[in-house]
Amino acid sequence: MPTLTTKEIELDSVPNSSGVYLMKNAKDEIIYVGKAKNLRKRLASYFQKKDHIDPKTEILIRKIHTFDTIVTAHEDEALLLESTLIKQHRPRYNIQLKDDKRYPLIRLDTTSDYPYLSIVRKSKSDGSIYFGPFASAQSVRQTIQLINKLFKLRKCRHKEVKKRTRPCLNYQIKTCLGPCCYPVDTKDYQQIVQEIMLFLKGRTPALIKQLKRKMLDYAAHQDYENAAVVRDRMQAIEKILEKQVAVSTSPVDWDIIGYAENDQGVVFTMMAVRRGRLADTRHYYFSKGLATITEMMESFIREYYEKLPLIPNTVITSLKLSHTESLERYLAKLKNKKVIVIYPVRGEKRRLASLSDENAKNELTEHEAKQNKRLRALVSIQKALKLKQIPGRIECFDNSNIGGSSPVASRVVFIDGEPDTSQYRRYNIKTVIGADDYASMHEILSRRLKNQTDPFPDILMVDGGRGQLSIAVHVISEILDTQQLCVIGIAKKKAHETKDKIYIPKRSNPINISDDALLLLQQIRDEAHRFAIKFHRNKHQKKQISSFLDEIPGIGPRRKALLIKHFDKIQNIRQAKVDDFESIQGISKKLAQQIVEICNKIEGQ
């Protein structure tokens, strides 16, 4: 294990072969993992060619204390090993997408006689058809909402249609055919499913032609009412088609990846083209580290498609990559089909790659503007609170309960003015009975400050006025003898006031603070409030489920916990069929029938 003690690194022991290198700091923590065709040349580029290194990279290189190398048989093996080690160690300076959540998909369950749509995060080999991915949960919900307006697909989410005595509201407003109450021809229903599939696949021109033939057929048979329904649907889809931007003359499926960079970071822009039309555009910002821009793009592509179940046949990059062939083989392994990675130099593909670069540049400009705004707000907070340095870590605490039931609290953490969700915490109030906000705040702050594993914040903020602030000051004086924390309270404005108020200890009146600073503190407070309310609602729902299950004989604490975990809501249990309990270990068919019978009796009352 070479130690970096001199300016000229001794690289004679490093082989001239492909492999992976692991950079470590003085604490022996892995801070960067990289791969190389030639390990000696790659490491030499870090430590022997300092004239070509920018100041930020030079600072990062100084943090490297030691390095390890792992030799691999070939480049593909190095790529796979690098990916595995990054997932395992999560080094600070490697490209990593912020969370491990998968992008939302639309699932069409075609195994049922009457298929339905649902939103999922992971595709399975269950006979269903998956569409997507979508940029956000909001975009996928908007798509389903649009489909519900255009097509009369059932909205209930049972595998098989559960018979009802009367149809639901969706049938009344003519957005469902009501197979739960009325005989619906499966052929007619499947025709609707086929139209939805064309719509979700982006084949709207083909769908319009199909609907036009259907409309004319109805009109020929003098069924003018159904002809008018199909006409309205066709016109609505034509309006949607007009809004979509055609970027290619061919019905191609491409992903185009562009980039823009500055001294601090890089933005990668992913433009998804489906059937020749721009379906989606996403932006990803990463701080610069030890990797070159080419290495960063290659790492981004790998991590992006690892979380993506649907990979197009062609990926276009605006930057010439160093390991194109190994990257193609890697993506082909994920897709189980050949994938081409192209760096175009002319023609339509080059135009799209340049367009992606332009979008990335605009996004980077916006990102810089937001960063500058956050910095101005933090500087204003520093001046208003007379801090020695700009606050890097701000923690905010909030309580939530309804009439004293299921009291909970939350902590949110903002680093450099941005939320760090990995450090959010939920608290169950353990020592307080009833709705006592002050006592609850005392408990959670005591638990937080006694926990020495997390660093203390530069600012500790409580949601409330002078009362909550005095509790926080008291807890700090109890637990921290010598160390002082900057603590503030944020109180909502009253009817006659113009803005929220910021309180500090030993002062009765709120302090003056700039609008930018107040807005940032309000955002932090609102996030703490949202997080606490969400936790309280989930806890309250589980408590309702628990009390409902107590009425069913044969269900003890263990089975109750299994049912709560599986169904999440009372409504899901009440609508479940016997088959829905099959996957739950410990729930027999006899007990499942008993639960369904009790639920049916309750619904019939």
Residues 478 and 573 in one domain: no
Does any domain span residue 483? yes
The enclosing domain of 349 has a CATH number of 3.30.420.340
Cα separation values, 342 from 300, 315, 352, Å = 16, 6, 12
User: What percent of the chain has pLDDT above 70?
Assistant: 87
Predicted pLDDT at 423: 92
Task: Find the mean pLDDT for residues 295-313.
Answer: 84
Within a domain: 6: no
Whether 602 has a pLDDT exceeding 80, the answer reads no
Given this model, what pLDDT does residue 261 score? Answer: 93
Based on the domain organization, do 423 and 523 belong to the same domain?
yes
pLDDT for 257: 95
Does residue 567 sit within a domain?
yes
Task: Identify the band that residue 5 occupies on the pLDDT scale cut at 50, 70 and 90.
Answer: very low
- Is there a single domain that holds both residue 425 and residue 479? yes
Higher pLDDT, 75 or 550: 75
- Of the two residues 524 and 174, the one the predictor is more confident about is 524
Domain hosting residue 25, numbered range: 19-89
Select from 350, 366, 382 the last residue of a domain: 366
**Extended strands (E) in 337-486:** 340-342, 393-402, 405-415, 418-419, 425-428, 459-463
pLDDT digits (tens, 9 = 90+) for 540-558: 666 665 566 666 777 777 7
CA distance 107 to 116: 8
Q: Residue 60 falls within a domain, yes or no?
A: yes
> With 50 as the cut, is the pLDDT of residue 326 above it?
yes
pLDDT (average), residues 201-219: 83
Residue 6 has pLDDT above 50, yes or no: no
Which ranges in 482-579 belong to alpha helices (H)?
515-550, 557-567, 570-574
Q: Kindly report, residue by residue over 414-447, the tens digit of the pLDDT.
A: 999 999 988 999 998 888 877 788 888 999 999 9
Kindly state whether residue 384 falls inside one of the protein's structural domains: no
Average pLDDT score over residue span 535-540: 78
Check whether residue 521 and residue 574 sit in a common domain: no
Confidence of residue 45 (pLDDT cuts 50, 70, 90): confident
Tens digits of residue pLDDT in 123-139: 777 778 887 767 667 77
Evaluate if residue 2 carries a pLDDT over 70.
no
* Region 348-355 average pLDDT: 92
- Is residue 119 over pLDDT 70? yes
Q: DSSP readout, 200-234? A: HTT-HHHHHHHHHHHHHHHHHTT-HHHHHHHHHHH
CA triple 405-407-413, angle to 5 deg = 155
Long-range contacts, stretch 437-441, CB < 8 angstroms, 24+ apart: 437/399, 437/464, 437/467, 437/468, 438/467, 438/468, 438/471, 440/399, 440/401, 440/407, 440/409, 441/397, 441/399, 441/409, 441/468, 441/471, 441/472
In degrees, to the nearest 5, what angle opens at C-alpha 225 toward C-alphas 220 and 228?
85
**Pairing of β 459-463 and β 393-402:** parallel
Q: Provide the CATH number for the domain around residue 23.
A: 3.40.1440.10
For residue 28, is it left (φ>0), alpha (ψ between -120 and 50) or beta? left
Are 307 and 436 in the same domain? no
Q: Is residue 280, in this structure, part of any structural domain at all?
A: yes
Name which of 156, 603, 164 is nearest 595 in CA terms: 603
The CATH number of the domain where 561 resides is what? 1.10.150.20
- In this predicted model, which residue has the larger pLDDT, 174 or 101? 174
How far apart (Å, rounded) are the C-alpha atoms in residues 344 and 356? 13
Average pLDDT value over all residues in the chain: 82
Residue 477 pLDDT > 50:
yes
Residues 397 and 528 in one domain: yes
Q: What is the pLDDT, as a whole number, of residue 40?
A: 85
Q: Are residue 441 and residue 522 in the same domain, yes or no?
A: yes
Residues 70 and 32 both lie in one domain: yes
Is 407 in the same domain as 473? yes
Considering the entire predicted model, what is its pTM? 0.68
520 and 462 together in one domain: yes
What pLDDT, on a 0 to 100 scale, did the predictor assign at position 8? 46
Transcribe 481-510 into DSSP letters: SS----EEEEE---TT-SS-EEE-TT-SSP
CB 116, CB 153: distance < 8 Å: yes
Mark which of 161, 179, 202 sits at the end of a domain: 202
What local confidence, expressed as pLDDT, does residue 7 receive? 38
Check residues 379 and 596 and name the one with the higher pLDDT: 379
Q: Say if residue 215's pLDDT is above 80.
A: yes
Q: Does the residue 166 lie in any domain?
A: yes
Q: How many domains does the chain have?
A: 5
Rg of the chain in Å (alpha carbons):
29
Q: What's the average model confidence in pLDDT over 436-463?
A: 90
Q: State how far the alpha carbon of 554 is from the alpha carbons of 208, 567, 571, in Å.
A: 55, 18, 20
pLDDT for the residue numbered 101: 53
29 phi, psi to nearest 5 deg = -90, 140
Cα–Cα dist 567/195, whole Å = 31
Residues 512, 453 within the same domain: yes
Find which of 113-122, 285-294, 461-470 is predicted with most confidence, using mean pLDDT: 461-470
Phi and psi angles of residue 490, each rounded to the nearest 5 degrees, phi first: -120, 120
Same domain as 502, residue 425: yes
Closest CA to 352 of 243, 272, 298, 296: 272
- pLDDT beyond 60 at 9: no
Residue 526 has pLDDT above 50, yes or no: yes
* Span 315-324, average pLDDT: 92
Res. 74: pLDDT tops 90: no
DSSP string, 128-146: -EEE---SSHHHHHHHHHH
What pLDDT shows up at residue 573? Answer: 73
How far apart (Å, rounded) are the C-alpha atoms in residues 350 and 346?
Answer: 5
In degrees, to the nearest 5, what angle opens at C-alpha 282 toward C-alphas 280 and 285?
175
| Residue 248, domain member (yes or no) | no
The residue among 405 and 80 whose pLDDT is bigger is 80
Could you say which of 513, 538, 563 is where a domain stops? 538
